């Protein structure tokens, strides 16, 4: 082989070695970058999973706070401030998670752990307050039941008092009513001259006189009292006199034969009532009943032959 050929062969070998070295380098670089890419992808997957876990924990805490405070109803000023503070921090954590690096994620996880402790204490405080409120509700309900019983008892007592008051009022009025005694009934015929002659025969009787006595009664009012007179025959029918009419006793309308007024001064006094009849009296037994101030004053009986 000539020197020129040897020189040419050497150059070719050097070129081949250089080419092989270049290929080997490229191959090593490719393997390195491929391994690095896998590591980065694995880191991205890990970071994504961690973010999801933190996000889930943030959502859980937020929901727990909202449910606890919603069921509690009205919060105290201090508890309302804590609620707003914790919800604000959780909202901030949620926003920072979006573009957080692995280093930032670690800081956020640490912050979340601290916040979890605070929220746990806050939820425990709410739980205690709920228990207290429940106890107060039970006491309130029990008190309301007691109050209702007392009110009902008071209503019963008031009703009984009203009934007693009405009875007392009725008894007082009854006690204040005038009472008549010592009845004496006389029957008269009347001459044309106006002279009255006492008779016992029914067909001659034109006028009846009733003498009676009223005794003192400190409960009766001093002044004028109206007296209604009923004269009843044997059948219990009220005879209507010249001045007869209607009056009311205990809501019942009754017929009276005659009426008059007397002046009462809380002293024992004798009175005389008289009335005429337009038609002859039949023979028989008669009853005279006196009423005043809505109450019975007394009765008298007599007979006409």
Q: Residue 164: inside a domain, yes or no?
A: no
Kindly state the greatest CA–CA separation across the chain: 206
Q: Is there a contact between 231 and 210 (Cβ–Cβ < 8 Å)? A: no
Q: What is the pLDDT of residues 48-105, one digit of tens each?
A: 677 788 778 878 888 877 777 776 666 677 777 887 787 888 888 788 877 777 777 7
Q: pLDDT value at position 37?
A: 46
Residues 22 and 124 in one domain: yes
Q: What is the CATH number of the domain that holds 197?
A: 2.60.40.2560
* 199 and 280 inside one domain: yes
pTM: 0.48
pLDDT of 169 strictly over 70: no
pLDDT value at 235 more than 80: yes
- Report yes or no on 12 lying in a domain: yes
Phi, psi of 278 (to 5 degrees): -80, -20
Most confident range, picked from 34-43, 75-84, 127-136, 216-225: 216-225
Pick from 85-89, 120-124, 277-281: least confident? 277-281
CA nearest to 61, candidates 117, 22, 119: 119
Q: What is the pLDDT of residue 43?
A: 45
**Cβ contact 250:286 at 8 Å:** no
What's the mean pLDDT when you consider all of the chain? Answer: 76
**Which of 13-17, 101-105, 243-247, 264-268 is predicted most confidently?**
264-268
Asked if the structure places residue 256 within a domain, the reply is yes
Q: What residue numbers bound the domain in which 109 lies?
A: 3-131
């Amino acid at each position: 082989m000539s020197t020129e050929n040897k020189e040419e062969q050497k150059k070719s070998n050097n070129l081949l070695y250089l080419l092989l070295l270049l290929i080997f380098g490229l191959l090593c670089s490719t393997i390195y970058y491929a391994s690095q890419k896998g590591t980065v992808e694995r880191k991205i997957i890990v970071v994504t999973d961690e973010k999801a876990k933190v996000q889930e924990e943030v959502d859980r805490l937020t929901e727990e706070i909202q449910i606890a405070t919603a069921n509690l109803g009205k919060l105290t000023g201090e508890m309302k401030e804590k609620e707003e503070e914790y919800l604000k921090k959780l909202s901030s954590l949620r926003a920072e998670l979006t573009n957080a690096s692995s280093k930032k994620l670690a800081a956020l996880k640490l912050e979340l752990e601290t916040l979890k402790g605070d929220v746990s204490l806050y939820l425990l405080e709410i739980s205690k307050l709920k228990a207290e409120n429940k106890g107060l509700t039970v006491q309130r309900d029990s008190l309301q039941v007691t109050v209702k019983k007392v009110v009902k008892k008071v209503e019963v007592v008031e009703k009984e008092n009203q009934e007693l008051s009405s009875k007392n009022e009725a008894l007082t009025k009854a006690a204040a009513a005038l009472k008549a005694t010592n009845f004496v009934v006389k029957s008269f015929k009347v001459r044309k001259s106006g002279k009255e002659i006492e008779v016992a025969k029914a067909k001659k009787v034109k006028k009846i006189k009733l003498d009676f006595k009223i005794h003192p009664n400190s409960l009766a009012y001093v002044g004028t009292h109206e007296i209604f007179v009923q004269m009843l025959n044997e059948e219990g029918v009220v005879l209507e006199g010249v001045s007869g009419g209607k009056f009311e006793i205990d809501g019942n309308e009754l017929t009276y034969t005659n009426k008059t007024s007397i002046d009462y001064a809380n002293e024992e006094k004798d009175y005389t009532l008289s009335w005429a009849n337009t038609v002859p009296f039949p023979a028989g037994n008669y009853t005279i009943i006196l009423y005043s101030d809505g109450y019975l004053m007394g009765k008298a009986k007599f007979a006409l032959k």
